[in-house]
Amino acid sequence: MNNWTNTLIQKDYVEKREEGIYDFVWLPDDNDFAEGGLIAIPKRLIRPVRNRQKTVSISYAQTSKFPVYYKREGEIKKANVNTVLTAHDVDVMFADMHRKEFQAMHGRI
């Protein structure tokens, strides 16, 4: 049985697509994996969070693998190098982003 993770992110991180079953999520800046990259998440796994208008929840299984994409000249293309992130990599990136935001809010950076 797969364990699932729900991660809260700002709506601004979601690059919505009209067509297809995927939307793309921008990876946090200053990450050690793929700076300026995006990952594809099925649209049905990106959900609004009640009472938080600027926040969405993304869901993924702990066994998920995420190829990295980049936006070039207005189009999203798969990275030339076969870069694939694991669910753990994505967890670490967003956890680090949340930690930095929390520290900034409390003047600890």
Are residues 83 and 65 in contact, defined by beta-carbon separation less than 8 angstroms? no
37 burial (CB, 10 Å; 0-12 / 13-18 / 19+) is buried
Burial of 90 (0-12, 13-18, 19+ CB in 10 A): buried
Q: pLDDT tens for residues 47-100? A: 998 888 888 999 999 999 999 999 888 889 888 777 888 998 888 888 776 676
Q: Where are the domains of the chain?
A: 4-105
Residue 6 has pLDDT above 80, yes or no: yes
User: What per-residue confidence (pLDDT) applies to 94?
Assistant: 82
Burial 47-66 (b: 16+ CB within 10 A, else e): eeeeeeeeebbbebeeebeb
Whether 41 shows a pLDDT value over 80: the answer reads yes
pTM here? Answer: 0.81
